[in-house]
Amino acid sequence: MPALPRIPSKSPSESETIMTEVVYPNDTNPMGMLHGGKLMQWMDTASAVCAQTHAERIAATVSLDKVVFKSPAKIGDIITIKARITRAFNSSMEIFVQAWARKVLSRETKLINEAYFTFVALDEQAMPVAIPKVKPGTAEEKRHYKQALERKTNRNN
């Protein structure tokens, strides 16, 4: 692989993506609970927007790990999905995604899912391309940044 050009670093907040959906009957199972696959689709979309914003390139999903379904969402719930980059490597990046469900009338909000997505940035020939590094600022961003390397190592073993 040829030497990669130097690209300025970016903070995670520059590409943070927040997406909102409403759970409709066609999004649910016979119990009125949101299909896990539908939620994963929404989370993949939010994380793709985050990855592509960071890379300023088309980015494709490579892997998904540590999916944790914590609680069900029901018809009428408002789903808020937050995607934030944790670390960028050469052409790949890890995105941490959390989803919350909020009841309209009670305003009760609960974390329903979280996962780590890995994306790779692609050029016009669908080949991996260099992306900006992540410059963590907060203590939480620094923790996610450090742990991302550990998760990447574990994924590759």
Note the pLDDT tens digit of each residue in 57-104. Answer: 999 999 998 788 899 999 999 999 999 999 999 999 999 999 999 999
- Whether the model pTM is above 0.85: yes
Name the domain count of the chain: 1
CATH of the domain at 139: 3.10.129.10
The total of other beta-carbon atoms located within 10 Å of residue 51's CB is: 30
- Residue 47: which domain range? 12-156
Domain assignment present for residue 7? The answer is no
CA distance 53 to 150: 24
Residue 1 pLDDT > 70: no
CA distance 71 to 47: 20
Give φ, ψ of 75 to 5 degrees: -50, 135
Domain assignment present for residue 47? The answer is yes
CB-count burial class (<10 Å; 0-12, 13-18, 19+) for 62: middle
Domain assignment present for residue 135? The answer is yes
Q: Given pLDDT bands bounded at 50, 70 and 90, which one contains residue 4?
A: low
DSSP secondary structure of 87-135: EE-SSEEEEEEEEEEE-TTT--EEEEEEEEEEEEEE-TTS-B---PPB-
Domain assignment present for residue 6? The answer is no
| Of 100, 97, 109, 101, the residue nearest 144 (C-alpha) | 97
